[in-house]
């Protein structure tokens, strides 16, 4: 009976460890180290791992063809010394107002001021991102000192599958499908587009240490 008890405890421990490893893998920060060295054997599996890492480390670049689906920009204004993010609204039921209000309700932004223009109905809404939004900020501080912008992630890669690789002595092309899931921003801003699959190709080139993505 005692041996059986220890056996069951051992099985449960293994299951818990496996779940922990899986959870940690799915929620780990993007790791660029896999892209800094080549692989000797470029299989569909190794290519998929490298492409997934590339899409996570370089979301702005990979979204050039999928720009509206995976990220968005908010201009950062400095009028009247506020230094807050700014969204210009046009009179006549601008849908951006409803979007900002939903983001505030979700705890992702805090609206700090509303400034009406001389044109009746037009206004600027000034806001800041909250702590809850920080995990989805890709890059901030680009632009000029008076007009910066922050890129917000709307959809993140969760899986990449390679369906085929064209053979070549020094260069190869991998056909892949990338699956995305929406972030809390994507759920509000562009829910369907931010979770849409991407079918594309990724070039690889042979270096002295093996195959690497040719960016």
Mean pLDDT of the chain: 75
The answer to whether residue 214 scores a pLDDT higher than 70 is: yes
DSSP string, the chain: -HHHHHHHHHHHHHHHHHHHHHHHHHTPPP--GGGSS-BSS--HHHHHHHHHHHHHH-HHHHTTSSHHHHEEEEEE--GGG---EEEEE-TTT-HHHHHHHHHHHTTSEEEEEEEE-SSTT-EEEEEEE-GGGGGGEEEEEEEETTEEEEEEESEEEEEEEEEEEE--SSEEEEEEEEEEEE-HHHHHH-HHHHT--EEEEEEEEEETTEEEE--
The pTM assigned to this predicted structure is 0.71
User: Where do the structural domains in the chain lie, given as residue ranges?
Assistant: 74-146
Which of 6-10, 36-40, 110-114, 133-137 shows the lowest per-residue confidence on average (mean pLDDT)? 6-10
Higher-confidence position of 78 and 50: 50
pLDDT, mean of residues 88-104: 80
The answer to whether residue 130 scores a pLDDT higher than 80 is: yes
The answer to whether residue 52 scores a pLDDT higher than 90 is: yes
Q: What percent of the chain has pLDDT over 70?
A: 65
């Amino acid at each position: 009976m005692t041996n059986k008890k220890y056996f069951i405890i051992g099985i449960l421990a293994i299951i818990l460890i496996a779940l922990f490893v899986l959870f940690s893998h799915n929620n780990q920060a993007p790791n660029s180290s896999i892209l800094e060295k080549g692989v000797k054997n470029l299989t569909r599996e190794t290519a998929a791992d490298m492409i997934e890492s590339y899409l996570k480390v370089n979301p702005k670049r990979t979204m050039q063809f999928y720009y509206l689906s995976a990220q968005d920009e908010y201009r950062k204004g400095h009028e009247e010394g506020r230094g807050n993010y700014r969204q210009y609204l046009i009179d006549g039921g601008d849908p951006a107002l409803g979007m900002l209000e939903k983001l505030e309700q979700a705890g992702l932004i805090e609206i700090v001021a509303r400034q009406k223009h001389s044109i009746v109905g037009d206004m600027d809404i000034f806001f800041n991102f909250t702590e809850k939004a920080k995990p989805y900020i890709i890059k901030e501080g680009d632009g000029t000192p008076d007009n910066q912008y922050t890129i917000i992630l709307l959809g993140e890669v969760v899986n990449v599958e390679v369906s085929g690789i064209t053979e070549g002595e020094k260069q190869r092309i991998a056909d892949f499908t990338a699956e995305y899931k929406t972030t809390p921003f994507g759920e509000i801003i562009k829910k369907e587009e931010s979770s849409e699959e991407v079918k594309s190709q990724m070039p690889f080139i042979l270096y002295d240490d093996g195959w690497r993505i040719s960016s």
